Amino acid sequence: MPNPELARAPRRFTGLPSEVRRRQRRELLVEAASGLLGAARPEGLTVRAVLERARLHPRYLYESFADLDELAVAAYDRALEQLSAAVCDALAAAGPDPADQVGAVVRSTVTFVARDPIRGRLLYAPLGIPALERRRAETTSAVVAAATHYGAARQGGGPDPVGWAATSMLVGGVGQLLADWLAGRVPLRPDQLAEEAADLVLAVADRAAARTARRPGGAGEPLGRPAV
């Protein structure tokens, strides 16, 4: 039996230029996929579920995406862009102190996830979609590389194996912490989670910097401030 909501859906775009209509339909599909994937109890990403949530005809799904895997990755990419913007804003406000910068990254990430659990689950919760997991792995590797090179540049040298190892542990560990928190396995308030995570990251970063400094030619410098 035809869905009357889908029958009326095309009228939303009447009178709009074709490129605008296509862009708006794509956004509706991405938003629908985000809601399905990031739900507290995921319903599963199916063509029918996406189309019903977006109130679009089936042909519009394939207008923008080759398949559901591509749609899932697009939803992830959009959430990642939003998180990246929040982190960049926090970094810009943090000032030049490395400890403040690290804390800003961690706190802004936790705050983003706490304020928008749907996007948080899309970014960090296990969803069982191979294409999405591959994109997450690519993103994690890129973040580790960028953070390691950034830290090395601040120390006036090249990437150090200890620094790379520490960054890998921290990036992966924070992601798992957020997944566990979203699943209810870490009974902390968002503000507590942000502060504890930031302190733990700084502690590991300081330890890695100290180990680097002891290596021949090492130039590591602790990020944290002396206790007062």
pLDDT, one tens digit per residue, over 67-82 is 999 999 999 999 999 9
| CA–CA separation, 30 and 32 (whole Å) | 5
78: buried, middle or exposed (CB in 10 Å: 19+, 13-18, 0-12)? middle
Choose between 216 and 88: higher pLDDT: 88
Choose between 151 and 148: higher pLDDT: 148
pLDDT, one tens digit per residue, over 22-57 is 999 999 999 999 999 999 887 789 999 999 999 999
| CA–CA separation, 190 and 109 (whole Å) | 11
Polymer length in residues for the chain = 228
* Stated pTM of the model: 0.85
| CA–CA separation, 125 and 194 (whole Å) | 18
Sign, CA dihedral 112-116-117-121, equals negative
Domains, the chain = 4-65 (1.10.10), 73-214 (1.10.357.10)
Q: Are 51 and 59 in contact (CB under 8 A)?
A: no
Q: Please, which pLDDT band fits residue 218 given cuts at 50, 70 and 90? A: low
Look over the chain and give the mean of its residue pLDDT values, rounded to a whole number: 87
